[in-house]
Structure 1
Amino acid sequence: MTAGAVLVFSATAGYRHASIPAGAAALAELAERQGMPARHTEDPGDLRPDALAGCAVVVFLSPTGEVLHDRARAALRGFVTGGGGFLGVHAAACAEYDWPYYGELLGARFDGHPPVQPADVHVHDRTHPATAHLPAVWRWTDEWYDFRAGPAGRGVRVLASADGTSYEGGATGADHPLVWCHRAGAGRVFYTALGHLGSAYADPDFRGHLGGALRWCAGAAE
Structure 2
Amino acid sequence: MNAFRRALTAFLLAGLLVAAPVAAAPPERVLVFTKTAKFRHDAIPVAVTTLQRLVVDEGMAADHTEDARVFTPENLARYRVVVFASTTGDVLEDAQQAALEAFVRKGGGFIGVHAAADTEYDWPWYGQLVGAYFQNHPPGLQSTQVQPEKDGKPVGPRWPITDELYNYRANPRGQVQVIATVDEREYDGGTMGTDHPIAWCHAFDGGRSWYSGLGHDAAVYADRHFIAQLRGGLRYVSGRSDDC
TM-score (norm. length: structure 2): 0.84
Structure 1 unmatched runs, 5+? none
- Asked which structure has the greater RCO (Cα within 8 Å, sep 6+), the reply is 1
Answer yes or no: is 1:186 the counterpart of 2:235: no
> Larger Rg: 1 or 2?
2
CA contact (8 A) 1:3 1:54 kept: no
Q: 2 CA distance for matches of 1:203 and 1:163?
A: 18
**Is 1:76 aligned to residue 124 of structure 2?**
no
Q: SS at 1:63's partner residue?
A: coil
Kindly report the root-mean-square deviation, in angstroms, between the aligned alpha carbons of the 2 structures.
1.6
Correspondence for 1:6: 30
Q: Is the 2:27–2:59 Cα contact (8 Å) retained in structure 1?
A: no
2:164 matches 1:140: no
Structure 1 residue ranges (4+ consecutive) displaced by more than 6 angstroms after TM superposition = none
C-alpha displacement of 1:136: 2.4
Aligned sequence identity (%): 47
Please give the alpha-carbon distance, in whole angstroms, between the structure 1 residues aligned to 2:185 and 2:166. Answer: 14
SS at match of 1:55: coil
Query: Post-superposition shift, 1:214?
Result: 0.5
Residues 1:201 and 1:207: Cα distance change in structure 2 (over 3 Å): same
In the other structure, the counterpart of 1:149 is: 170
Alignment of structure 1 residues 1-222 onto 2, 5 Å = 4-114=28-138, 115-125=140-150, 135-154=156-175, 156-222=176-242
Deviation of 1:203 after TM superposition, in Å, equals 2.3
- Counterpart residue identity of residue 177, structure 2: R
Cα distance between partner residues in 1 of 2:144 and 2:50: 23
TM-score w.r.t. length of structure 1: 0.92
Matching residue's letter, 1:113: H
Helix, strand or coil for the counterpart of 2:150? coil
Q: Is the 8 A contact 1:3 1:55 kept in 2?
A: no
How many residue pairs align between the two structures?
214
* Structure 2, unaligned runs of 5 or more: 1-25
